[in-house]
Amino acid sequence: MNLLLSAPKGHDFAEYLFALPFNLYGKAKKVDGNLCVTESEILVYIDGEIKDRYPLDAYEEYACEQLVGCSMMVGRNGDRDAKCICAFTNDSFVAFAEVCKIINHYLTAGILVHESDIDEPKCPKCGLPLDGYTECPYCASKIKTFSKLFGRLKPYAPQFAVAVGCTVLAEILNVVSPYINRILIDDYVRPQNTSHWLGFAALCGAMFVILIINTFLDWANMKASRYVSLNLGQDLRQDVFNKTLDLSMSSISKKTAGDLINRVSNDANKLQSFLTDYGKDAIVRVFSLLVVLVIMFSMNYKLALLAVVPIPFVLIIVKKVYNTIHMYYGRVWRFSNAHSKLLHDALNGIRVIKTCGTEEAEIEKYRVASEKWAKSATKAEIVWNLIWPVADFMLTIGNYLVLYFGSLMLLGRLGAFGTLTLGELTQFVSYVGMLYTPLRWLMQLPRQLADASVSASKVFEILEEHTDVRDDADCVDLDIKGDIEFNNVYFGYNIYNPVLKDVSCKIEKGKMYGIVGHSGAGKSTMINLILRLYDVTQGSVTIDGVDIRKISQKSLRSQVGVVLQETYLFEGTVLENITYAKPDATFEEVVEAAKIAHAHEFVTKLPDGYNTRVGNKGHTLSGGERQRIAIARAILHDPKIIILDEATASLDTETERQIQEGLNELCKGRTTIAIAHRLSTLSNADSLIVLDKGRLAETGTHDQLMRQKGVYYALVMAQRKTTKMKAVQPQQQSAASHPAPAPAN
Ligand code: ADP
C-alpha cells in the first residue's frame, strides 16, 4: 500500500516515512492537510505549514475511528484521554488505519516498519502484480538468468561437449559436401568426363562416407543430448522440490500449491528441453554461421555481400520481435497461471463447491479464465504468424539475388562481377542455404528465449529464496526432556500486526497444558512457534533452557508429535501412513501402536487390513478413523512433546470418548499441549494457559481459574450457556414434531 501519497507543499517525500493527505480539520472544516510521520514524531501540516506536532510516544495507542460520513485518527492514553490528530473522508480510512498499526507496533515492539505489505506488491518496471515473486519474472535480467541456467550444465560438461562436438563435426562435413559436389559437376558431369571414372567413384564414395559419418555423429549427439537433458531435468526438479520443502511456512503460504507444482514440473521441464535443444544449437548455429560466411567471402565476396544484404534487416526484426513477442507471451503465461490456480482451487475445494451447489458459478469462472488464456495465446500466435513470413520473405530475397547475379556471372554477362562455373554456383547456393538455416533458427529464438527466461526466473526465484527459518551453524541436536518456556514473545505473521504480544509462560515436562482463548486469540500461533514453523519477532521460546533457534529443526521436530483437527493421509496403505514418521518400524510395533490408539479394531475390519490403500486425503476413512491413525502415527513416533491442536473437535461425543482413551495413552509421561474448543476436555489438564487477544491473560488449573472469575470463567460460562441452549432446542423441536395427542372428548 502506498503510504507516501503526498508530501506537504514545499516539502519532499524523502523527509518522511509516511505522508498521507487529509481533507478535514476541526469542526469538519475542509482543509488541504498532510499527516507526515518521521522516525520520531507525527507532523500535521495544513497548507504546507506545521499546525501540530506529536512525538510518536505522546500516546500509548493510535487508532482510526469511523464517524458518520468521515473518519479520524486519534491518539489515546487509556480510555479517557483521546485526541483527534486529523480527520478525513472515509476513502482514506484503510491507509490511515495502516499507519496507526505501524506506529502502534513501533510503540509496543520498538520496531519501526518502513513499508506496508498489505497491498499486493507490484513490479516497479512493468507495474504488474508480483504474484508472490520477489522479482518480476518478466523483467528480471535475462543475461543473469541465462548465465545461471547455463551454469547448471557444469556437472554434465563432458557429455554436453560430446553433443556439441558431434554437431560441430556434422556441420563441418555439411560444408565439405557442396565442395565435393562442385568438383563432381565441374570436373566430371559438365565436361562429361568418363575417362577418369576412378576419381568420379572416389568422390561418390567420399559423399557416401560423409553420409555414414553424419549418421553416426547424429546418433552420438542424440545419445549425449538425451543424457544431459534427462539428468539436468531431474536435477532441476529435485532441487526445486528440496528447496520448496526447505522454505518456511511464511513463504510457502504466499504461494499457491498450483504455482509450486507448475514450477517443479512444467517450468523445470521447459528449461530441460530449452538447455539441451536450444542451448546446444545456439553454439553450433553461431559456429556454422561464421564458418559459412568465411567460406562464402573467400569464394566470392561480391556475391557473398549480396547474400548478406537481408541480415541487418532480419536482425532488426529479431530485436523488435523479441520485445513484442515477450510482451504477448507474458500475457499468455499470466493467464495460464491464473487458469491453473483456479483449477487447483476448484479441485481442492470440490466438496465445498458441491455442498454449496456453486458448480455453475465455478464452471463460468473456469470458462472465463480458460477463454482469456486461449485468446491471449491466439493473439500471440497471430502476431508471430504475421512477423515470421515477412522475415522469411526477406531472407528469400537474398537467395534470389544470389541466384540471379550468380546465373548472370555463369553466363558471362556481368563483367565487373567476374565469372562462375556451374559447380561454383551450385556450391555457393548450397552455402547460402546453410547461411539462412541458422538465421531462420535465430528468428525462432525470441519466442523460445522469452518462454525459457520466464520459466528460469520462476525456478531460480525458488532456488535462491532466502529461507527465513534456518538452522544456524552452531545449532545442536538436543535430547529433549520437555520443559518449554515462552519469554516475552512477540510474533506477527505481518511484522506490524502482532498476534502474540509479550507472552511469557512455562510449560513443565511430563505435564499436560491446555491453551484456551477466543477464536483468533493466538493459540495455534503458539503451537506454530513451538514447532518453529515461524521464528518469533521478539523474545524467545526455549526447550530445556535452549533457545529453539539453536536446536536443529530435524532434532526438534523428530521429538515433537502433532495430532491436528484434520489428519492428512498420504496416498498409500494404512501401514505406510502409520509408519510415516518411523519408516523402519516393525509390523509388531505398528500393531501395538494401533491397539493403543484404538485403531487396530477397525483397521483389521478393512478389506485388506493394514494393507488397505487409503485414497487422497483418506476419503475412504471416517474422521474418527483418520484421527486414530494419526494417534497411532504419533505413538509410533514416540515424541517427548505432544501437541493436540483441536484433535477431537470435528468428532461426535462418542467417537471423541473412544479417541480420548487413545490420546490419554499417547500423552502418558510426555509434555502435552492441547488446544480444544470444548473446554470440558481440558478440565483435567495440569494447567491452563489463557490467551486474550494475543496476550497471556491468566494461568492456573481449571478450579483456580473458575474461582478467579476472569477470562477463562467467562469462556466456560458462555460455553455452558450454548450447550444448554443446544440441549433445550432439540427437546422443543421433538415436542413440535410430536404434538401431544388431542384430549379425548
Ligand atoms: P486461534 O488458534 O487462537 O484461533 P490463530 O493462532 O490461528 O488463532 O490466529 C491468530 C491470528 O493470526 C488470527 O487473527 C489469524 O487471522 C491470524 N493468522 C493465523 N495464521 C495466519 C497466517 N498464516 N497469516 C496471517 N495471519 C494469520
Q: What is the pLDDT of residues 282-337, one digit of tens each?
A: 777 888 888 888 988 988 888 888 888 888 887 787 777 767 777 787 788 778 87
Q: What are the φ/ψ torsions at residue 78 (nearest 5 degrees)?
A: 70, -165
pLDDT at 212 over 90: yes
Per-residue model confidence (pLDDT) at position 125: 63
Measured CA to CA, the distance from residue 406 to residue 386 in angstroms comes to 31
CA-nearest residue, atom 19 of ligand 1: 525
Quote the DSSP letter at residue 25. E
Using N-to-C axis directions, what is the helix angle for 359-410 and 301-308, rounded to 10°? 160
Mean pLDDT over 617-626 rounds to 72
Is the pLDDT assigned to residue 745 strictly greater than 50?
Answer: no
What residue ranges line ligand 1, CB within 6 angstroms?
A: 253, 493, 499, 517, 519-525
Q: Which helix H or strand E contains 286, and what residues bound it?
A: helix 280-299
Kindly give, in sequence order, each residue whose CB lies less than 8 Å from that of residue 346, ignoring residues fewer than 6 positions away: 353, 362, 365, 366
- For residues 655, 659, 664, 667, the Cα torsion angle rounded to the nearest 10 degrees is -140
Higher pLDDT, 154 or 667: 154
User: Ligand 1: which residue has its CA nearest to atom 1?
Assistant: 520
pTM listed for this prediction:
0.66
Q: What is the CATH number of domain 481-555+672-734?
A: 3.40.50.300
pLDDT value of position 4: 54
User: What are 418-464's pLDDT values in tens digits?
Assistant: 788 888 888 888 888 888 888 778 777 777 777 788 788 778 888 87
Which secondary-structure segment (H or E) carries 24?
strand 18-25
pLDDT of residue 370: 93
Confidence of residue 722 (pLDDT cuts 50, 70, 90): confident
Mean model confidence pLDDT for the chain? 81
Nearest-CA residue for atom 14 of ligand 1: 520
Query: With contact defined as beta carbons under 8 Å apart, do 512 and 672 qualify?
Result: yes
Of 590, 554, 595, the C-alpha closest to 575 is 590
Question: What sign for the dihedral angle of Cα 290, 294, 296, 297?
Answer: positive
C-alpha 522 – ligand 1 centre gap (Å)? 6
Residue 135 has pLDDT above 90, yes or no: no
If you write DSSP's letter for every residue of 511-536 in order, what string do you get? -EEEEEESTTSSHHHHHHHHTTSS--
Report the range of poorest mean pLDDT among 100-114, 135-149, 348-362: 135-149
Q: How many CB atoms lie within 10 A of CB 23?
A: 17
- Per residue in 637-695, pLDDT (tens digit) is 888 898 888 877 766 777 777 777 777 777 778 899 988 877 777 877 889 999 988 88
Summarize pLDDT for 347-388 with one digit per residue, the tens.
888 888 888 888 889 999 999 999 999 998 898 888 778 777
- Alpha-carbon Rg for the chain, nearest whole angstrom, is 37
Q: Domain 13-109: which topology?
A: PH-domain like (2.30.29)
Residue-wise pLDDT tens digits, 470-495 = 888 888 888 888 899 999 888 877 65
Q: Residues 489-539: pLDDT tens digits?
A: 888 776 556 788 889 999 998 888 999 988 888 899 999 999 898 888 778
Which superfamily, per CATH, for 142-463?
Answer: ABC transporter type 1, transmembrane domain (1.20.1560.10)
CA of 494 to the centre of ligand 1 (A): 11
702 with 685: CB under 8 angstroms?
Answer: yes
Residue 490 pairs with which residues in a beta bridge? 538
Nine-digit cell at 601?
A: 479394531
Distance 101 CA to ligand 1 centre (A): 17
Residue % of the chain over a pLDDT of 70:
87
Alpha carbon distance, N-terminus to C-terminus of the chain: 77
Ligand 1 mean position to 120 CA, how many Å? Answer: 19
**What's the residue count for the chain?**
745
Q: Where are the alpha helices (DSSP H) in 599-710?
A: 600-605, 623-637, 653-667, 702-708
If you take atom 8 of ligand 1, which residue's CA is the nearest one?
A: 520
Domain ranges for the chain, please list them: 13-109, 142-463, 481-555+672-734
Instruction: Report the distance separating Cα 502 and Cα 371, nearest Å.
Output: 51
Pick the residue whose CA is nearest to atom 27 on ligand 1.
493
